[in-house]
Structure 1
């Protein structure tokens, strides 16, 4: 669905509650898992502050993510590097999203929930929920913005921690994305166990 922000948010008010925002991070990386977050607001606290994680700096992103987790229902789902290589990145992204929703369902009654998903695709084999895929949803819908913040901060921290064990790749700098530095380090040292062996830029050196 692609509507103006105002028309979209007016339409969302007509959907069955609760509403759940879902977004992923790490889909385009050469290394590391893919993360998805699911968020359900509990109140109006700080909602107007939430923005797409790509639109704010790291310090602001961390503060906003902390606010989301402190004031609202949140859950994170992860798909591993092995799952990415086995099923492909799109299917692994759906796996992470399902896991996030399933964890959120332990906190909130999602019986009549509507899932608001960033992007063009609904989650397949998940017919128990109403779903709405929203193009540029992370910019237009606060719930999805909140999910993008939580997922981004969590995955960035994971990759930063991973850098201490795999010092040759600079994970703390690029978080696994395909920067020229990262590509050069893969070529120089070969892939680590955290690199996606089916991805161009990695598989050539496996």
Structure 2
């Protein structure tokens, strides 16, 4: 009875006219360095935005062009930055779930429901939610969230180049490219590297042995 009651409440949220539905997505689960960014967006149906899509399918120029449009036209948006220390403490999956909950909780006005990109829902999501695999290419609100998260993170990684030169953060954005792995071996990890991620952890363990 309890489960069926929850399903009825979920269905009612999607069917209510003028319901505020947030799209939620993240950027930066795979990199060895830098933060994870999570965004939640409630789009305004009266102010549509042309060209929304999965941020990975858009050029950097197109993402940068869409970013201010989303900021200006959305009914609400919230971008959360999860630092490497928290990623290491929680693990990347739990850090992602925590970031999604915070992003939805940070929306004003409050979302009635949330569409989450992926196949998992945060347990402490502050409203009913639905997980959609590939949602960043299917639901405009999730697409908008993916763009905000991606652009925000890319900008942070570009800024990081000046404070941590030599790693190439502005180019590879912390992902484990051959150039990044080579710089990591040469320079060792910096404070922005995720110590729980295998290539970084191996180097740290080797350093401790010698």
Corresponding residue to 2:64 among 62, 65, 68: 62
Asked if the contact 1:15/1:114 (under 8 Å) is kept, the reply is no
Say if 1:117 and 1:15 are closer, same or farther in 2 by CA, change over 3 A. Answer: farther
Does residue 74 of structure 1 match 2:77?
yes
Q: CA deviation at 1:42?
A: 2.2
Q: CA deviation at 1:109?
A: 3.0
Asked if the contact 2:33/2:194 (under 8 Å) is kept, the reply is yes
Give the Cα–Cα distance (whole angstroms) in 2 for the partners of residues 12 and 139 of structure 1: 24
Q: Deviations 1:133-169 (Å, cap 9, x if unpaired)? A: 0000001111100000000000100010011111110
Structure with the higher fraction of residues in helix conformation? 2
Q: CA deviation at 1:45?
A: 2.4
Partner residue of 1:108?
Answer: 109
Does residue 19 of structure 1 match 2:21?
yes
Asked if the contact 2:14/2:113 (under 8 Å) is kept, the reply is no
Asked if the contact 1:191/1:202 (under 8 Å) is kept, the reply is yes
Partner residue of 1:125?
Answer: 124
TM-score (norm 1): 0.88
Give the Cα–Cα distance (whole angstroms) in 2 for the partners of residues 14 and 79 of structure 1: 29
Secondary structure in 2 matching 1:167: coil
Corresponding residue to 1:35 among 27, 37, 42: 37
1:40-189 equivalent positions in 2, closer than 5 A: 40-72=42-74, 73-104=76-107, 107-110=108-111, 113-126=112-125, 128-189=126-187
Q: CA deviation at 1:13?
A: 9.2
Asked if the contact 1:43/1:71 (under 8 Å) is kept, the reply is no
Q: CA RMSD in A?
A: 1.7
Q: Number of matched residues?
A: 191
Q: List alignment gaps of at least 5 residues for structure 2.
A: 1-10, 205-210
Give the Cα–Cα distance (whole angstroms) in 2 for the partners of residues 71 and 141 of structure 1: 17
Q: Deviations 1:84-117 (Å, cap 9, x if unpaired)? A: 101100001112112211211xx2033xx11100
Q: CA deviation at 1:19?
A: 0.5
TM-score (norm 2): 0.86
Q: List alignment gaps of at least 5 residues for structure 1.
A: 1-10
